[in-house]
Amino acid sequence: MADKIRVLLSEEEVNRRISEIAGQISLDYEGKELHLICILKGGVFFTCELAKRLTVPVSLDFMSVSSYGDDTKSSGVVRIVKDLDESLKDKDVLIVEDIIDSGRTLSYLMEVLKQRGPASIRLCTLLDKPERRVKKQVKVDYTCFTIPDEFVVGYGLDYAQKYRNLPYIGVVEF
User: Is 101 one of the annotated active-site residues of the chain?
Assistant: yes
Q: Convert 96-113 to b/e letters by CB count within 10 Å (16 or more is b).
A: bbbbbbbbbbbbbbbeeb
Question: For residue 1, is pLDDT > 60?
Answer: no
Inter-residue contact 94 to 35 (CB < 8 Å): yes
Average pLDDT, rounded, for the chain: 90
Taking each helix axis from N to C end, the angle separating 43-53 and 11-28, rounded to the nearest 10 degrees, works out to 60
* Sign of CA pseudo-dihedral 142, 144, 148, 151: negative
Q: Pick the more confident residue, 132 or 51.
A: 51
Question: For residue 148, is pLDDT > 70?
Answer: yes
- Helix (H, G, I), strand (E, B), or coil: what is residue 9? strand
Kindly give, in sequence order, each residue whose CB lies less than 8 Å from that of residue 27, ignoring residues fewer than 6 positions away: none
Confidence grade of residue 3 (pLDDT, cut at 50, 70, 90)? confident
Catalytic pick among 98, 101, 128, 158: 101
pLDDT digits (tens, 9 = 90+) for 24-74: 999 999 999 999 999 998 899 999 999 999 999 999 999 998 765 555 455
Question: For residue 75, is pLDDT > 60?
Answer: no
Task: Determine how many CB atoms are found less than 10 A away from the CB of residue 167.
Answer: 13
